[in-house]
Amino acid sequence: MTITRRSLIKRSSALALALSTPAIFRPSSARAQPWISKNGTIKLGVLFSQSGPLAVVENDSTQVVLFAIDEINANGGVAGMQVEPVVIDAKSDVKVYSEKISQLILSDRVISTIGGYTSASRRAVAPFVMARDHLFYYPTCYEGRECTQNVICTGPLANQHSQDLIPFMVQNFGKRVYFVGSNYIWPKESNKVARVWLEKVGGEVLGEDYVPIGGSEFAPIFNKIRQANPDFIFSTLIGDSDVAMHKQFLSEGFKADKMPIASLTTGEIEVRAMGAEAGAGHFLSAPYFQALDTPTNNRFVEKYLGSKYGGGGVTHYNMEETYLAVYFWKAGLEKALAQTGDIEAITPRMIRDASGGVTIGDEISPEGKVWIDPDNFNMWLRPKIGQCQGDGQFKIIKVADQHVGPNPFEIYPDRGVCKADGLHTPAGAIQKGVL
Amino acid sequence: MSVTDFWTPFELNSFLNALFIGLSIASIWLIAAVGLTIIYGTMGVINMAHGELIMLGAYTTYVLQTFFYIPFLLCLPLVFIIVSIFGLFIERTIIRRLYNRPLDTLLATWGLSLILIQGVRVIFGTAPKYVSIPSWLNFQVSLGFLHLPGFRLFIILATAALIFATWYIAYRTTWGIRVRAVMADPDMASSFGIDSNRIYSITFAYGAGLAGVAGALFGGLKTLLPDMGSGYIVEAFLVVVVGGTQLLGSIFSSIILGELASIFSYFTNDTFARFVLFTLIVIFLRFRPQGLITEGMKRR
């Protein structure tokens, strides 16, 4: 038999098909090996950066997950089993995130993973999580516009913080705004949304600038800000750059009472890093502040800072949302177990499906009662606005009267409505795994 | 996005200030690059661990400040001495064995940079550290159009002082004559009784010390992290590559690059400025791969 070019193509494509087939059947073969085995522990992936520019924030994320797991294990674990964290350092590098999520799923065989602080990392991880029908908890604020069946987010969406913050700032300081952000998807998308809120109250964007993640050269931007002379700065900088910008704001001679920075990210941990002097007077919209005076939060702050994980010295919104993610995971797992009755039969996807509507009450949640939206699997919460004080703590100035529901497609109504089974488009189709 | 969103409208005062900011950026790039220039120019060693020497300088400042309560100004000479001793040590143990093997030096110094990053991570942990700058540097220069934070002015002056010192040593001392002789032709220099190995050691130590001082200064601008050096190494290499391997070339190239970076980011934005700058550098190197100013011909 001679090999012609055509037969080669045919045969090689048949070979390729044969090779790819096992991957198609992998979910069913995986059933033979349970995600949780009765005699072992329950493995939970913990994927945050412990080094690099994002470590300023994400260090605490790892710590608080370990703290929450200790707390859960001390209280009898989940369904009588101990939880075992599998901790990986993602090194502030999106490539490491996507590489390590596969390792967590395929080789460590964790039941779920909690991780990420930037949307870049969530987007690096999501395709792998969806391909394995696994479950990923993303525990901080983000831009929305996603509708996947494998990610649960425990932070606020754009309609749960900037929609509140922008009108507040315009009312109190003026309509002329300068946007500064880190150069990746979340700040760009957040600024796009912020423009919409700003237009609604008659505001004006004087300029929009981005620096690379970890970038610390703000002199050219402050020069332009001085020329534009805005009423306030809207910042979506993250980590290291956020700290550098606030410090340079001060050293450039700007004053927080004349031109405050309104941020979605500058919380207690960033202020601690930059020094309270550089943080004082600026504003943050978040669902949680360390200064929140409730019995649960006071207990949480005292217990966390007194534990071996509390070396960071403060609690902050990102950390609290990460803490909630662990408890949401526990609640979801217990609900899934109640539905199936067999812990070895539980798959990551079952936990996700069971999590719709799961509530964490005042007695556990430091920010107060929160629950997971049964349609889009983001969180219902009460947005708050705080102003940083001279001691590095925030004074809470405004608390929403009632819970605000998440709407990932708030400024994209034409895209459709996100439901549990996918994005319902206006044309009547259902799109799955919309990133 | 309309055109006016992208292009900043021209305003003379702000533009003039942008030129000063360019100078400030140039001073930062230059001080990051000068140690690299000297080491590469004299020894032909491409030191991939240069960024980590900067990082060591920053961490040394942090240690001196936090544990020994030494004032910032005094830290600068101390950091210079400490990091040059460290430089001397790595020259004696690693670099010396790899002369005439440029590719191996590249690998060895890169390996060294990884060791240093991990070593600092093990010792100091991954939590960011901060160097505090003295309060008398917390002033602003505001003269009409000019707005410059005091600390940046301090960096410009410190860079100028270090460059002057380096120039003086290289061109006005006997040791400098020896260094330049070794640069021009090591074999010929040896035949005149110059111990080129000794020159190499001291030059490397001096270059390392300069990197250390750069790190001490950057500590006041930036968060200290074990991998902070990698952020400066790119800019330092750009300055060296564009400038050629001479001190004068590095001065010119850092000023040109700093000013271009500042002017582009004034008219457009920071991200676009980088893109334009890197593109221009690639085009420049296509037509002048040897850089702005090159060594004079060897006289034979």
Q: Which tens digit of pLDDT belongs to each residue from A267-314? A: 998 898 888 889 999 999 999 999 999 999 999 999 999 999 988 889
Q: Say what the pLDDT of residue B5 is.
A: 58
The pLDDT mean for chain A works out to 89
Q: A247 near A219, Cβ under 8 Å?
A: no
Question: Is the CB of A220 less than 8 angstroms away from the CB of B270?
Answer: yes
Give how far A251 is from chain B: nearest CA, Å.
Answer: 6
Which residue in chain B is spatially nearest to A178 when comparing CA positions?
Answer: B5
Mean local confidence (pLDDT), A401-415: 89
**Residues A317 and A353 both lie in one domain:** yes
Are residues A188 and A117 located together in one domain of the fold? no
ipTM: 0.83
CATH class assigned to B10-287: mainly alpha
Task: Give tens-digit pLDDT for A87-137.
Answer: 999 988 999 999 999 999 999 999 999 999 988 899 999 999 999 999 999
Cβ neighbours of residue B300 under 8 Å, at least 6 residues apart?
none
- Band of pLDDT at residue B295, cut at 50, 70 and 90: low
CATH number for position A277: 3.40.50.2300
A30 — pLDDT class (breaks 50, 70, 90): very low
Q: What is the pLDDT of residue A28?
A: 47
Per-residue pLDDT for A340 more than 60?
yes
Name A21's Cβ contacts closer than 8 Å, sequence gap at least 6: none
Query: Hey, of B3, B5, B6, B8, which one would you mutate to test binding to chain A, going by the most A CBs within 10 A of its CB?
Result: B8
Same domain, A134 and A234: no
Tell me the average pLDDT across A47-73: 90
pLDDT tens for B29-52 read 999 999 999 888 888 888 999 999
pLDDT in tens, B195-224: 988 999 999 999 999 999 999 999 888 888
How far is A45 from chain B, CA to nearest CA, in Å?
Answer: 20
| Cα-trace Rg, chain A | 23
Q: What percent of chain B has pLDDT over 70?
A: 96
Asked whether residue A326 falls in the same domain as residue A412, the answer is yes
Same domain (yes/no): A217, A197: yes
The reply to whether A388 falls in a domain is no
pLDDT category at B247 given cuts 50, 70, 90 is confident
Would you say residue A114 lies in a domain? yes
Q: Which chain B positions have a beta carbon within 8 Å of A53's beta carbon? A: 223, 225
Q: Which of A253, A286, A319 corresponds to the end of one domain?
A: A286
Domain finish residue from A256, A286, A316: A286
Give the chain B residue nearest A212 (alpha carbons): B271
Residues A52 and A115 placed together within one structural domain of the fold: yes
Statement to judge: residues A365 and A419 lie in one domain:
yes
pLDDT of residue B294: 75
Number of domain units in chain A? 2
Ranges of each domain in chain B: 10-287
Which of A208, A250, A252 comes nearest B147 by C-beta? A252
Assess whether A246 and A357 both reside in one domain.
no
Q: Which of A257, A286, A315 is the last residue of a domain?
A: A286
Domain housing A74: 42-157+293-382+407-431
A187 compared with B130, residue with greater pLDDT: A187
The reply to whether A400 falls in a domain is no
Name every chain A residue with its beta carbon within 8 A of the beta carbon of B147: 223, 226, 252-253
Distance, CA of A138 to chain centre: 4
Nearest-angstrom CA–CA distance, B95 and A181: 42
